[in-house]
């Protein structure tokens, strides 16, 4: 598996079947890598429009100076449209990107087997079907693998090579070398629902939808929190989960959420939301229909943007008492830097604002945990999320939550205090794990499960997620940045408080937390 972009590609002639959005992108990538491509589509109109689009695409790359005119000429010349499957004889690899239907893909590979040579490899670009099931009807299933590109093919620089149950290892290695030769990053996955990227991507939207369903906050607030609070050395999520659902469109995302959940036999970590199903039924698909969670104009720009409500002007600025714990010093120094009088005492005084910094607990549970076994006064208690930086100058948003018993003047006093340096503040309803803690902990948990099940190597999991989902870090590096023990504390408390088995911790994560090993550590 040592070939690099400078080595000759392991296939000289590749057949691409299906010339839609994916097939034409795949054909272009191979042609630009200097490989001969025969492109076929059952629909001649689709094929000719794909050819026209490819011609335009090469011309644009030349115009923008991203491709030399001679290279474009060579790529164009190495691409041939063919009107029958028979014309694919002689291809050493076939990549199919036809309609996403099991029977259609099985029939295509069965039809191709007698046409192509015995040594030819058959690869499917399926996103959601079992590669093993597609291969099962072939005479020689060992030569069938998944070769899963992302859309748009040129700019999504990662490709999943999917090893089905009977795939020959040499086939996997040749596909790895091929992907390297195109300049994309190959990652190898076992044939399991969602492979790596669509499996690892289940946490972000699903957990955000769960928080929305539980009434923690409205969707726009949840988007703001995940976009602006989460920060790994200044990098976070570029889009909130609901913005992302609108971009992908719910008629694509909701079936994926449901299918992965079902394919893993109702694994609670992937449990989809009733809200998603209802919004899909209502036709609120997202940007492409003008309305999803948000509203859009014909160019896809939001038409419903509203300024966030201003922070309340607090009538009182009570002294602050901070519950002891590993994060108390950080909360104290931040509160002092914002001008609060912080009282150091064993127990809170009578009129003090009580601050807690729970991990995986809600504010109410944190009030019962109490200092030295004493319950804290819930009516004066506010929780602050310290999972990401809260210090002045180091954060864009601070996230608080109050108990149902917290009095409005104390809630407002905490809000005003933490907004006093101009940083945005979100006040959530009381809920275990705020928003960011539960979402990020679930990303780490699911990424760790992918490693535990040996679906892919830790390095490939993280590389695939960074490139395929655009996260600032892969799920395992994310867990390392937060600390595996902290992730476990969040999940254990979520599990204990909710009783929901979605939060149970798998072996990979638990063991590495116990042994203080990196989540990227293999055994």
Ligand X SMILES: NC(=O)c1ccc[n+]([C@@H]2O[C@H](COP(=O)([O-])OP(=O)(O)OC[C@H]3O[C@@H](n4cnc5c(N)ncnc54)[C@H](O)[C@@H]3O)[C@@H](O)[C@H]2O)c1
Question: Which residues lie near ligand X (CB under 6 A)?
Answer: 17-23, 41-43, 46, 97-100, 104, 108, 125-127, 149-151
**Closest approach of Cβ 150 to ligand X, in Å?**
6
Contacts for 367-376: CB closer than 8 Å, 24+ residues apart: 367/403, 369/323, 370/323, 371/323, 371/324, 371/346, 371/347, 372/346, 372/347, 374/347, 376/323, 376/348
**Which of 125/448 has CB closer to ligand X?**
125
**Closest approach of Cβ 116 to ligand X, in Å?**
15
Q: What is the largest CA-CA distance in the chain?
A: 86
Please list the residues that pair with 237 across neighbouring strands.
none
Annotated catalytic residue: which of 198, 231, 273, 448? 198
Give dist(CA 490, CA 499) in Å, integer: 13
Q: Which residues of 290-315 are buried (b: 16+ CB within 10 A; e: fewer)?
A: ebbbbebeeeeeeeeeeeeeebbebe
**Which of 71/104 has CB closer to ligand X?**
104
Read off φ and ψ for residue 293, nearest 5 degrees. Answer: -70, -35
**Closest approach of Cβ 492 to ligand X, in Å?**
36
Give dist(CA 310, CA 419) in Å, integer: 9
Residue where the block lists tokens 């909360």: 331
**Closest approach of Cβ 259 to ligand X, in Å?**
12
105, containing H or E segment: helix 102-112
| Token pair in block for residue 491 | 């999940």
184 is catalytic: no
**Which of 7/151 has CB closer to ligand X?**
151
125 is catalytic: no
Cis peptide leading into residue 494 (ω within 30°): no
Report, in angstroms and rounded to the nearest whole number, the Rg of the chain calculated over CA atoms.
26
Residue of this chain nearest to ligand X (CB atom): 20
Give dist(CA 230, CA 399) in Å, integer: 10
User: In 279-361, where do the E strands start and end?
Assistant: 320-322, 353-356
Give dist(CA 74, CA 78) in Å, integer: 6
Whether residue 444 contacts residue 239, with contact meaning beta carbons closer than 8 Å, is answered with: no
| Token pair in block for residue 490 | 């969040």
**Closest approach of Cβ 23 to ligand X, in Å?**
6
**Closest approach of Cβ 148 to ligand X, in Å?**
6
| Token pair in block for residue 502 | 């979605």
**Which of 396/466 has CB closer to ligand X?**
466
**Which of 158/355 has CB closer to ligand X?**
158
Q: Is 283 exposed, middle or buried (0-12, 13-18, 19+ CB in 10 A)?
A: exposed
**Closest approach of Cβ 298 to ligand X, in Å?**
22
Annotated catalytic residue: which of 40, 148, 184, 415? 148
Phi-psi region of 145 (alpha: psi -120 to 50; beta: other; left: phi over 0): beta
**Closest approach of Cβ 101 to ligand X, in Å?**
8
**Which of 21/89 has CB closer to ligand X?**
21
257, containing H or E segment: helix 250-263
**Which of 97/176 has CB closer to ligand X?**
97
351 is catalytic: no
Whether residue 147 contacts residue 162, with contact meaning beta carbons closer than 8 Å, is answered with: yes
Residue where the block lists tokens 């002092």: 336
Phi-psi region of 17 (alpha: psi -120 to 50; beta: other; left: phi over 0): beta
**Which of 94/378 has CB closer to ligand X?**
94
Annotated catalytic residue: which of 19, 57, 125, 127? 127
**Which of 159/365 has CB closer to ligand X?**
159
445 is catalytic: no
Please list the residues that pair with 322 across neighbouring strands.
355
**Closest approach of Cβ 195 to ligand X, in Å?**
10
**Closest approach of Cβ 233 to ligand X, in Å?**
30
Please list the residues that pair with 14 across neighbouring strands.
37, 93
Annotated catalytic residue: which of 92, 113, 160, 449? 160
Whether residue 8 contacts residue 36, with contact meaning beta carbons closer than 8 Å, is answered with: no
The CA-based angle 400-428-390, given to 5 degrees, is 25
**Which of 198/403 has CB closer to ligand X?**
198
Could you write out the DSSP letters of every residue in 298-309?
TTS-BS---PPP
> Which residues are known to be catalytic?
127, 148, 160, 198
């Amino acid at each position: 598996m040592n070939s690099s972009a400078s080595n000759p590609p392991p296939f000289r002639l590749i057949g691409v079947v299906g010339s839609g959005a994916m097939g034409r992108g795949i054909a272009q990538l191979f042609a630009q890598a200097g490989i001969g491509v025969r492109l076929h589509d059952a629909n001649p109109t689709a094929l000719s429009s794909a050819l026209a689009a490819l011609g335009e695409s090469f011309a644009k790359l030349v115009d923008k100076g991203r491709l030399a005119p001679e290279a474009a000429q060579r790529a164009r010349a190495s691409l041939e449209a063919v009107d029958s499957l028979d014309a694919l004889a002689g291809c050493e690899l076939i990549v199919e990107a036809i309609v996403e239907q099991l029977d259609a893909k099985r029939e295509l590979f069965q039809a191709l087997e007698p046409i192509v040579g015995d040594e030819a490899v058959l690869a499917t670009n399926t996103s959601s079907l079992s590669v093993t099931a597609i291969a099962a009807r072939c005479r020689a299933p060992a030569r069938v693998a998944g070769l899963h590109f992302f859309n748009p093919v040129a700019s999504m620089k990662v490709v999943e090579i999917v090893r089905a149950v009977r795939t020959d290892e040499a086939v996997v290695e040749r596909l790895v070398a091929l992907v390297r030769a195109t300049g994309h990053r190959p990652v190898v996955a076992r044939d399991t629902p969602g492979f790596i990227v669509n499996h690892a991507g289940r946490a972000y939207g699903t957990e955000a939808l769960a928080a929305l369903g539980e009434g923690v906050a409205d969707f726009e607030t949840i988007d703001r929190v995940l976009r602006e609070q989460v920060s790994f050395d200044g990098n976070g999520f570029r889009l909130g989960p609901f913005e992302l659902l609108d971009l992908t469109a719910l008629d694509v995302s909701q079936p994926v959420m449901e299918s992965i959940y079902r394919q893993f036999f109702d694994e609670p970590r992937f449990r989809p939301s009733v809200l998603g199903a209802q919004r899909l039924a209502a036709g609120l698909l997202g940007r492409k229909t003008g309305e999803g969670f948000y509203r859009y104009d014909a160019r896809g720009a939001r038409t419903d943007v509203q300024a966030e409500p201003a922070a309340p002007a607090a009538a009182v600025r009570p002294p602050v008492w901070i519950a002891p714990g590993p994060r108390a010093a950080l909360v104290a120094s931040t509160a002092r830097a914002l001008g609060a009088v912080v009282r150091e005492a064993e127990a809170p005084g009578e009129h003090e604002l009580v601050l807690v910094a729970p991990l995986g607990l809600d504010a109410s549970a944190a009030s019962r945990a109490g200092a030295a076994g004493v319950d804290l006064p819930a009516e004066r208690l506010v929780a602050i999320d310290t999972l990401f930086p809260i210090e002045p100058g180091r954060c864009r948003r601070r996230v608080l939550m109050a108990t149902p018993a917290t009095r409005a003047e104390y809630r407002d006093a905490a809000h005003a205090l933490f907004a006093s340096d101009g940083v945005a503040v979100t006040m959530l309803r009381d809920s275990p794990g705020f928003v960011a803690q539960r979402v990020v902990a679930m990303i780490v948990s699911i990424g760790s499960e992918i490693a535990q099940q040996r679906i892919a190597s830790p390095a490939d999991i993280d590389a695939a997620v960074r490139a395929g989902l655009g996260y600032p870090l892969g799920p395992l590096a994310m867990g390392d940045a937060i600390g595996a023990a902290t992730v476990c504390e969040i999940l254990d408390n979520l599990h204990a408080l909710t009783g929901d088995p979605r939060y149970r911790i798998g072996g990979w994560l638990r063991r590495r937390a116990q042994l203080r090993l990196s989540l990227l550590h293999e055994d």
